[in-house]
Amino acid sequence: MSFHGFTPQTLDFLNALSVNNNREWFEAHRREYEKCLREPLKALVTELAGFMLSIDHDLVTLPGRAVSRIHRDTRFSRDKSPYKTTMWITFKRPVVEWRDAPCYFFEITADSYRYGMGFYGASKETMDRLRGAIERRPIEFRQNVAFCGKQDCFVLEGEMYRRALRPDLPEDLQCWHQRKNVYLVCNKRPDKSLFTRNLVDDLRRGFGMLAPFYDYLWKVRMSA
């Protein structure tokens, strides 16, 4: 299964779905969903699988498991819209508490796409482990994030506490330490790469850049 890029129809479908988020409309456009969105996402996973396994041989790379479902879980949500208007792929290990494990992701919406890696929604316990590593071994942490200052692709994101948990920490550590979750992400508007197989090269290059930090986060995750 070869990936040749998404199409303008992919974005049109996501935009129309946001306006017509109901079962009747979706079923009338299911073939469009399969052709313009789900099939390209599965092809993208297939193209990336070998490279991702070279980073971590335990990553799940089966398209059926790596691609998100279009159906929303509305059981505990006030929003009862049945379908997601954002689709994504994730490369993560098959662990029960996946939110507490670092993972790679690619996400597409009607007007943007992004990709990156990190803890997305990790528990306080896991984030406390990261904070502890920053506090106890700041030199090691700085070595593992030094690449961030040498590139202009990824930015640091993640919800932050309103107040610093350790006001005495230097500013370069504070921006990491104060977050409830932490990930590096490349945010893009639809561009030429999105509509060609150049996207595969972009993701390989970006995910490869993040690989050493991915290993570091797993080291933190597994620490006692």
Q: Which two tokens stand for residue 55?
A: 């980073």
| Mean predicted lDDT score pLDDT of the chain | 94
Give the DSSP letter of residue 34: I
Residues 6+ apart with CB under 8 A from 211: 55
222 close to 102: Cβ distance less than 8 angstroms: no
State pLDDT tens for residues 149-185. 999 999 999 999 999 999 999 999 999 999 999 999 9
Can you list the domains of the chain with their CATH numbers? 8-222 (3.30.930.20)
Q: Name the pLDDT band for 224 (thresholds 50, 70, 90).
A: low
Percent of the chain with pLDDT over 70: 99
The answer to whether the pTM exceeds 0.85 is yes
